[in-house]
């Protein structure tokens, strides 16, 4: 409890910190007995599937039941964890404008369905703690001035100078609402008028959100994704991003987990440049166990667009972490697009412009954010990662599946826990009809799939889905059995060839050399390893009898080395 008291003092000061502790202490004391901590937070067997609760649909059953059926039939013993994107009742933003944090959206299923999935996989839940729906009962009670809800939202005089605030969107920062008394107030709405930012300066809000957090833990969450955490604390006259109090709130939740649920992990979602992102590791033991590796998706795309590994290799060398309690959450696609901010300082502006043009040619869209001077700049590339890897628009691309799988082989080989979006696993293309229906660019990679059609496509060896899905599953199956792919196993980026990404991973007397040709031409490389007695490619199962290796276009090898 001492760590929690210290966290609260750092957030609220001595007096308010004591009041906050008195408020949440009964909640902590009433929580069920803590679980025994595992030997380590993560291992090479940890692979996460990211999906909406209704990404797969069946007319004969509820969406969560369809997901359970598909996962148990196709993904058991391959994926360790399933991240179900917000499955709570919501009013907008495909689930991220939550009406009730404690309920399951009845259109998806029930808590029993969530627990049933948890019988087969570890679970990851979204903790949407920055904001709540304007249609929520909490906000309605705030507008009514009910006790305990008076300071739920952040009221701001619209004449206040907020020009320094970092904006992730181009929408207005403040939204006007009318209270039950007739009084008009302007409240902070970082992401949309329907998403009311919560006022964490209020210990009433803290109390409510601690209850939400522990409700998720009690219902089986092993990883808690802290959505939009960077924007949590607001102070007029500052950037309102990554403030000290925000980091202290992350530390508070880590302290609560340490006390009550030592196996549960914090995962911070901060779509920002790499140096800012990794600050959420704290000192290695007091903040997040994992952070999203946001720079990876755009850098990997750049690597395949330009067919050069130089920048990716240079950046990958920086992925060294001091603590065995920390690692990266590696991904290339999610429900959102490919972030542009995470490559600030890594790619020149002209190269970013080239990526934007590629995305547009491949049928994607570009989302923009508002800058301090009122101008707009690209914030996100909206496209499926599969189609980001497409070439020869309008023509047959014979390397499309191979190129995409090559990009995934790099993601899977890097230090960290891999996370794979269901539409990447299934080889989904851009859903342009969906963008037209909703008017939202992000809809492009959020299609709801008919599960019967998915099974039918997978049964057809010539279908694009089948050509992506089965080789991808094979790669994952191989990866999870290699100690050298432990998230914290040692790694070395090898500068072998400009068009071949090369990585050495080592652990428990196993050494792997991972090679990926990022180009459309065959490449020959020479391994400089000494005293090699035997080499075998784990992907094909073939023995390699020479240190001079010919890589076909977009070929990838995971070579086990015996010395």
The pLDDT tens digits of the residues spanning 261-279 come to 999 999 999 999 999 999 9
Quote the CA–CA distance of 112 and 320 in Å, as a whole number: 41
Q: Which residues of 185-198 are buried (b: 16+ CB within 10 A; e: fewer)?
A: bbbbbbbbbbbbbb
The string of pLDDT tens digits covering residues 99-110 is 999 999 999 999
Cβ contact 25:18 at 8 Å: no
Residue 421 DSSP one-character state: E
Cβ contact 48:81 at 8 Å: yes
Strands, E assignment, 375-447: 376-382, 417-421
pLDDT given for residue 7 in this prediction: 98
pLDDT given for residue 394 in this prediction: 65
DSSP character string of 224-283: EEETTGGG----TTS--SS-HHHHHHHHHHHHHHHHH-TT-EEEE---S-HHHHGGGGTT
Burial of residue 271, with CB atoms counted within 10 A of its CB: 0-12 exposed, 13-18 middle, 19 or more buried: buried
Rg (CA), the chain: 24
Q: Residue 530: is its pLDDT beyond 80?
A: no
53-67, 138-152, 478-492, 524-538, range with the lowest pLDDT: 524-538
- The DSSP bridge partners found for residue 543 are 536
- Per DSSP, the three-state class of 173 is coil
Q: Residue 315: is its pLDDT beyond 70?
A: yes
Cβ contact 539:478 at 8 Å: yes
Q: What are phi and psi of 360, to 5 degrees?
A: -60, -45
Angle between helices 2-12 and 14-29 (to 10 degrees): 140
Q: How far is CA 357 from CA 341, 353, 381, 382, 388, in A?
A: 17, 6, 10, 12, 11
Quote the CA–CA distance of 503 and 303 in Å, as a whole number: 15
pLDDT given for residue 368 in this prediction: 87
- The share of the chain scoring above pLDDT 70, in percent, equals 99
Quote the CA–CA distance of 77 and 237 in Å, as a whole number: 51
Q: How far is CA 369 from CA 171, 297, 427, in A?
A: 8, 19, 29
Q: β-strands 48-51, 81-84: how paired?
A: parallel
Cβ contact 311:299 at 8 Å: yes
Higher-scoring residue by pLDDT: 114, 508: 114
- The share of the chain scoring above pLDDT 90, in percent, equals 91
pLDDT band at residue 217 using 50, 70 and 90 as cut-offs: very high
Q: What is the mean pLDDT of residues 395-422?
A: 96
- Per DSSP, the three-state class of 187 is strand
Q: Which residues of 473-488 are buried (b: 16+ CB within 10 A; e: fewer)?
A: eebbeebbebebbbbb
pLDDT band at residue 256 using 50, 70 and 90 as cut-offs: very high
Q: Which pTM does this prediction carry? A: 0.96
Q: Residue 510: is its pLDDT beyond 90?
A: yes
Angle between helices 296-306 and 400-413 (to 10 degrees): 140
Q: How far is CA 358 from CA 30, 150, 215, 381, 409, in A?
A: 54, 49, 44, 10, 22
Averaged confidence pLDDT in the chain: 95
The string of pLDDT tens digits covering residues 363-408 is 999 998 877 777 788 899 999 999 999 997 667 889 999 999 999 9
| Identified catalytic residue from 122, 197, 227, 387 | 227
Higher-scoring residue by pLDDT: 522, 33: 522
pLDDT band at residue 38 using 50, 70 and 90 as cut-offs: confident
Quote the CA–CA distance of 384 and 476 in Å, as a whole number: 20
The string of pLDDT tens digits covering residues 114-141 is 999 999 999 999 999 999 999 999 999 9
197 counts as catalytic? no
Domains of the chain in sequence order: 490-562 (2.60.40.1180)
What's the gap between Cα 83 and its chain centre? 9
Higher-scoring residue by pLDDT: 472, 36: 472
The string of pLDDT tens digits covering residues 53-88 is 999 999 989 999 999 999 999 999 999 999 999 999
Cβ atoms < 10 Å from Cβ of 3: 15
Q: How far is CA 189 from CA 61, 142, 250, 373, 394, in A?
A: 37, 15, 21, 19, 41
Question: Among positive and negative, which fits the CA dihedral 297, 299, 305, 307?
Answer: negative
Q: What is the mean pLDDT of residues 495-514?
A: 95
- Per DSSP, the three-state class of 126 is strand
pLDDT band at residue 509 using 50, 70 and 90 as cut-offs: confident
Question: Nearest Cα to 208, choosing from 30, 20, 15?
Answer: 20
Instruction: Mark out the alpha helices in 72-144 (DSSP H runs).
Output: 111-118, 137-144
């Amino acid at each position: 409890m001492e760590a929690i008291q210290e966290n609260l003092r750092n957030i609220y000061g001595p007096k308010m910190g004591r009041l906050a502790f008195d408020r949440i202490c009964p909640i902590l004391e009433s929580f069920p007995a803590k679980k025994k901590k595992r030997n380590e937070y993560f291992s090479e067997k940890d692979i996460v599937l990211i999906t909406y609760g209704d990404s797969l649909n069946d007319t004969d059953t509820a969406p969560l039941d369809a997901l359970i059926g598909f996962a148990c039939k196709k993904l058991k013993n391959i994926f360790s964890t399933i991240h179900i994107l917000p499955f709570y009742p919501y009013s907008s933003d495909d689930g991220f404008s939550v009406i009730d944090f404690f309920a399951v959206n009845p259109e998806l299923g029930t808590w029993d369905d969530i627990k049933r999935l948890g019988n087969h996989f570890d679970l990851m839940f979204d903790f949407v703690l920055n904001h709540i729906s304007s249609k929520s009962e909490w906000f309605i009670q705030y507008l009514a001035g009910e006790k305990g809800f008076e300071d739920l939202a952040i009221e701001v005089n619209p004449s206040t100078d907020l020009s320094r605030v970092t904006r992730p969107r181009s929408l207005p920062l403040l939204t006007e609402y009318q209270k039950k008394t007739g009084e008009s107030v302007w409240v902070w709405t970082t992401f949309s008028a329907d998403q009311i930012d919560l006022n964490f300066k209020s210990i009433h809000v803290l109390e409510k959100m601690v209850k939400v957090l522990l409700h998720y833990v009690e219902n089986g969450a092993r990883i808690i994704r802290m959505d939009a955490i960077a924007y949590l604390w607001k102070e007029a006259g500052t950037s309102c991003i990554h403030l000290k109090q925000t980091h202290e709130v992350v530390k508070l939740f880590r302290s609560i987990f340490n006390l009550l649920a030592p196996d549960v992990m914090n995962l911070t979602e901060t779509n920002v440049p790499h140096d800012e992102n990794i600050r959420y590791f704290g000192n290695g033991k007091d903040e997040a166990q994992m952070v999203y590796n946001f720079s990876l998706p755009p850098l990997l795309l750049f690597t395949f667009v330009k067919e050069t590994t130089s920048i990716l290799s240079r950046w990958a060398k920086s992925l060294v972490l001091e603590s065995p309690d920390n690692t990266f959450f590696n991904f290339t696609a999610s429900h959102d697009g490919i972030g542009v901010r995470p490559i600030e300082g890594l790619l020149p502006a002209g190269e970013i412009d080239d990526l934007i043009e590629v995305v547009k040619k491949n049928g994607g869209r570009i989302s923009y954010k508002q800058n301090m001077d009122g101008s707009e700049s690209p914030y996100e590339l909206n496209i499926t990662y599969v189609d980001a890897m497409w070439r020869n628009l309008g023509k047959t691309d014979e390397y499309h599946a191979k190129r995409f799988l090559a990009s995934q082989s790099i993601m899977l080989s890097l230090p960290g826990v891999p996370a794979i979006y269901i539409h990447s696993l299934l080889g989904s293309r851009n859903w342009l009809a969906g963008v037209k229906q909703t008017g939202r660019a992000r809809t492009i990679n959020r299609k709801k799939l008919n599960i019967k059609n998915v099974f039918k496509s997978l049964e057809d060896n010539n279908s694009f889905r089948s050509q992506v899905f089965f080789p991808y599953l094979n790669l994952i199956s191989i990866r999870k059995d290699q100690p050298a792919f432990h998230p914290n196993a040692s790694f070395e980026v090898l500068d072998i060839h400009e068009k071949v990404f090369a990585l050495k991973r080592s652990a428990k007397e196993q050494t792997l050399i991972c090679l990926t040709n990022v180009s459309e031409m065959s490449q020959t490389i020479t391994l400089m390893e000494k005293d090699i007695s035997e080499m075998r490619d784990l992907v094909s199962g073939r023995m390699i009898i020479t240190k001079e290796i010919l890589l076909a276009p977009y070929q990838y090898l995971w070579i086990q080395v015996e010395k």
